[in-house]
Amino acid sequence: MYDHRSIEQKWQQLWQESGIYRTREDLSKPKYYILDMFPYPSGEGLHVGHPKGYIATDIIARLRLMKGYDVLHPMGWDAFGLPAENYAIKNKVHPRLAMEKNVINYKRQLNMLGFCYDWEREINTTDPEYYRWTQWIFLQMWKKGLAYESHAPINWCPSCKTGLANEDVEDGHCERCGTLVEQKPMRQWVLKITDYADRLLDDLEKLPEWDPAIKDMQRNWIGRSEGADINFKIKDSDQTITVFTTRVDTIFGCSYVVLAPEHKLVTALRNQITNWSDVEAYIETTKNKTDLQRTDLNKDKTGVKLEGLLAINPFNGEEVPVYVADYVLNGYGTGAVMAVPAHDERDLKFANKYDLPIKGVVTETGILHDSGKFSDLTSEEARKQMTVWLEKEKLGSKRVNYKINDWVYSRQRYWGEPIPLLHCEKCGVVGVPEEQLPVVLPDVESYEPTGTGESPLAAITDWVETTCPTCGGPAKRETNTMPQWGGSCWYYLRYLDPKNNNELVSKEKEARWSPVDLYVGGAEHATRHLIYARFWHKFLFDIGVVTHEEPFTKLQHVGLIVGEDGRKMSKRWGNVINPDNMAERFGADALRVYEMFMGPFDQAAVWNTNGISGTRKFLEKIEKLCSEQVEVKVDKKILSLLHKTIKKVGDDIENFRFNTAVSALMILVNELTDYYTANNAWALTKEDMAKLLQMIAPFAPHLAEELWEKLGYKQSIFKSSWPLFDANLVKDEVISYMVQINGKLRGQVEMPAEASEDEVIMAATTVPAIVKWLEGKEIRKKIFVPGRLVNFVI
């Protein structure tokens, strides 16, 4: 009888007591650093969708252990930030107490599933000894000029009552709570990620083991474009409108110029604009729109003509009207565009709405027909020559532009790392001396956001008021806190040296373990965490803290597990499945095997409780098969299948094909069970049955340990070596060849594995189903694919 409760409890206790999964720092072995994106414990616990990635990394970590690697497989908690604080507010509990309680439960659930984490390296981003180094990194950035104060309008969530980075906004709504985001001028700290834009983009080529789709998402988010700044002089004024375009060759089709509502020229020229009240009213209506709302191609284009202004095209001297319109963003390019309706869809919709001219058409060369001396050139040649002409005439210049904006790093919330800066009336902004780090987040009774643009910390006078370390005069602490992304930008480095009180990580341990060999997590982090972590890592490389320019060698994203109703698991829909219930009912091993068997790892899968009962029965077969040693009658066919399975399972695990690995194990176990039932004997020797358990072990570690012990082995199965397959036994004795006529399957022929090409082709011509297709026909070509098919072209 397979009693999963006693077996799992027994082995989890033995693993903990023996410290078997503690990283040994054994320099005689090759290293393997495998990492999950650590969770933020902002809910009461995990549902069955959460462990999918953790199970996968656990399987690979165990495989690598058995292959002789020194494995680092740690876990920790991303416990600062909006998710955690919103949970605490909803449940009317202090965020520190909420996170402490949630972490205990999360850790219990992870241990329940038998993961091989080295818990001695556990980290928590809310631990002052951890965020001391988050603050230290920020200080180094500030000293290098990469952190600056801004008062520009930012994304503001009226529900969370805090500013948000562009990366925290999805379709115009707050990524955390779903509230429509507004634009609000706010004092905030900003990190100059744009200084690293080229490196972030170019170095994607150094990541061949990243999913191409993730790299494309980052390329599109960074949005590098090469073009030119062009100066349009304003008629009867000494002011100039500078536009950015990637297609200077279309300028002869320019029929109007558009300024973003926030463009400084709009207010600078208000005395020349004869309909200022209309313009002012329009600007007011755009203030609460997000960038995504304003640039949505499907939305109706709106704008107002700036009466009294005309812009002069520098190439042909033509005067064109000037508009203000919200589809132009002040943060992209120059905040001004030349509109070419014949070339741009947004410009065309705007032109049609406001009855503006559409000049010219795009020819085969891509040039508008009335482009003067540039007409005979291709688009690429024209762009080059026209940019040279602009620079020669001092009417513009070549420019590289980026869609990515600098990272809004401040949050007007309580639950985050304090920013280690002081404000002194005499000295200005001053960094907290490094020896005074960490700046500890004070305990407060009232931590709810104020909505005033100030963090709740601003009200704690005895914490805010301090002494300037430069002049000794009075100073005030910065009261904005860091976003939830701060602590996760570098956490993978702290696992290498979590107890180091003198530096972020020692050079020896960083050189030993970096970079992360395999990083597994959700694709939704492609344009948030993954870009931020790469940015911080490159900075740490520049200041000599790390030895590699990229933090993660291989990246693998996880497909969601959705509810039985096909929707994302949520309390709102009442479709959440608790892993505690599944593990209690079917066993942790059955749950692990089921989640890996559901389908391709990177694709979404629908939960089905009947499926886990199937993997439970699979494990029961193994338990029954291996519990008692019986007579051995070796079956050569099953022995060959064993070695084929060893090869396949090892390859499939390394390549995230867990579902086909489980399928191969099921086929082998079924064959062994059928043989046992028919002959009351094992088809394999004890040593070969042990190889079956070694293959099962990464997937179902508790049961594998138990049956390994019953076979008489004294040490843990995870101290044994992964089985090797016999190349001779992997070869098929007989191969079934498909036979095609002009590429269409018409028959099959079975041949000995050692048969030559000529022998296979000759045999194929004698198959009755093929003979009728060849009669009276000329075989023009014979195509032979070893081990697979023959194709006759007739």
- What's the CATH code of the domain at 672? 1.10.730.10
Number of alpha carbons in the 13 Å side-chain half-sphere of residue 153? 16
Q: Which of 185, 218, 213, 226 is nearest to 199 (CA)?
A: 218
User: In the predicted model, what is the mean pLDDT of residues 313-325?
Assistant: 95
Q: In degrees, to the nearest 5, what angle opens at C-alpha 781 toward C-alphas 777 and 784?
A: 120
User: Does 613 lie in the same domain as 568?
Assistant: no
Task: Determine the structural domain holding residue 353 and report its residue range.
Answer: 224-402
Q: Where are the beta strands (DSSP E) in 343-386?
A: none
pLDDT value at position 755? Answer: 87
- Asked whether residue 148 is domain-assigned, the answer is no
Of 573, 588, 623, the last residue of a domain is 573
User: Does 397 lie in the same domain as 263?
Assistant: yes
How many whole angstroms separate alpha carbon 88 and alpha carbon 85?
A: 5
User: Does 757 lie in the same domain as 706?
Assistant: no
Across 15-29, 164-178, 432-446, 518-532, least confident range: 164-178
How is residue 182 written in tokens?
């507004």
Number of alpha carbons in the 13 Å side-chain half-sphere of residue 207? 31
Selection from 5-9, 156-160, 286-290 with the highest mean pLDDT = 5-9
Answer whether residue 437 shows pLDDT above 70: yes
pLDDT category at 184 given cuts 50, 70, 90 is confident
Q: 282 or 42, which is more confident?
A: 282
User: Does 745 lie in the same domain as 712?
Assistant: no
pLDDT category at 177 given cuts 50, 70, 90 is confident
- Asked whether residue 478 is domain-assigned, the answer is no
User: Does 289 lie in the same domain as 230?
Assistant: yes
User: Does 571 appear as a known binding residue?
Assistant: yes
The rounded percent of the chain whose pLDDT value lies above 70 is 98
Answer whether residue 101 shows pLDDT above 80: yes
pLDDT category at 297 given cuts 50, 70, 90 is low
- Asked whether residue 45 is domain-assigned, the answer is yes
- Domain with 350 in it: what CATH number? 3.90.740.10
pLDDT value at position 452? Answer: 75
The full DSSP string for 93-114 is S-HHHHHHHHHHHHHHHHHHTT
Q: Render pLDDT for 453-504 as a digit per residue (tens, 0 to 9).
A: 788 899 899 999 999 999 999 999 999 999 989 999 999 999 999 999 999 9
Of 347, 372, 402, the last residue of a domain is 402
- Asked whether residue 298 is domain-assigned, the answer is yes
pLDDT value at position 615? Answer: 97
- Asked whether residue 295 is domain-assigned, the answer is yes
Across 148-152, 161-165, 430-434, 778-782, least confident range: 161-165
User: Does 349 lie in the same domain as 309?
Assistant: yes
* SS3 of 528-545: CHHHHHHHHHHHHHHCCC
User: Does 329 lie in the same domain as 234?
Assistant: yes
Mean pLDDT across the chain: 92
How is residue 125 written in tokens?
């981003």
Q: Which of 752, 578, 723 is nearest to 645 (CA)?
A: 723
Answer whether residue 371 shows pLDDT above 70: no
User: Does 264 lie in the same domain as 366?
Assistant: yes
Neighbours of 3 (CB within 10 A): 12
How many whole angstroms separate alpha carbon 280 and alpha carbon 302?
A: 14
User: Does 780 lie in the same domain as 657?
Assistant: no
Across 86-90, 381-385, 693-697, least confident range: 86-90
Of 402, 420, 446, the last residue of a domain is 402
pLDDT category at 364 given cuts 50, 70, 90 is low
pLDDT value at position 277? Answer: 95
- Domain with 774 in it: what CATH number? 3.10.20.590
- Asked whether residue 569 is domain-assigned, the answer is yes
User: Does 649 lie in the same domain as 740?
Assistant: no
- Asked whether residue 474 is domain-assigned, the answer is no
- Domain with 46 in it: what CATH number? 3.40.50.620
How many domains does the chain contain in total?
A: 4
pLDDT value at position 372? Answer: 63
User: DSSP state, 32?
Assistant: E
* Cβ atoms of 82 and 68 closer than 8 Å: no
Answer whether residue 363 shows pLDDT above 60: no
pLDDT category at 665 given cuts 50, 70, 90 is very high
How many whole angstroms separate alpha carbon 331 and alpha carbon 326?
A: 12
- Asked whether residue 37 is domain-assigned, the answer is yes
How is residue 719 written in tokens?
């101290």
Answer whether residue 169 shows pLDDT above 90: no
User: Does 230 lie in the same domain as 361?
Assistant: yes
User: In the predicted model, what is the mean pLDDT of residues 619-634?
Assistant: 92
* Residues forming a β-bridge with 243: 230
User: Does 252 lie in the same domain as 386?
Assistant: yes
Q: Render pLDDT for 538-597 as a digit per residue (tens, 0 to 9).
A: 999 999 999 999 999 999 999 999 998 988 888 778 888 999 999 999 999 999 999 999
Q: Render pLDDT for 775-793 as a digit per residue (tens, 0 to 9).
A: 999 999 999 999 899 999 9
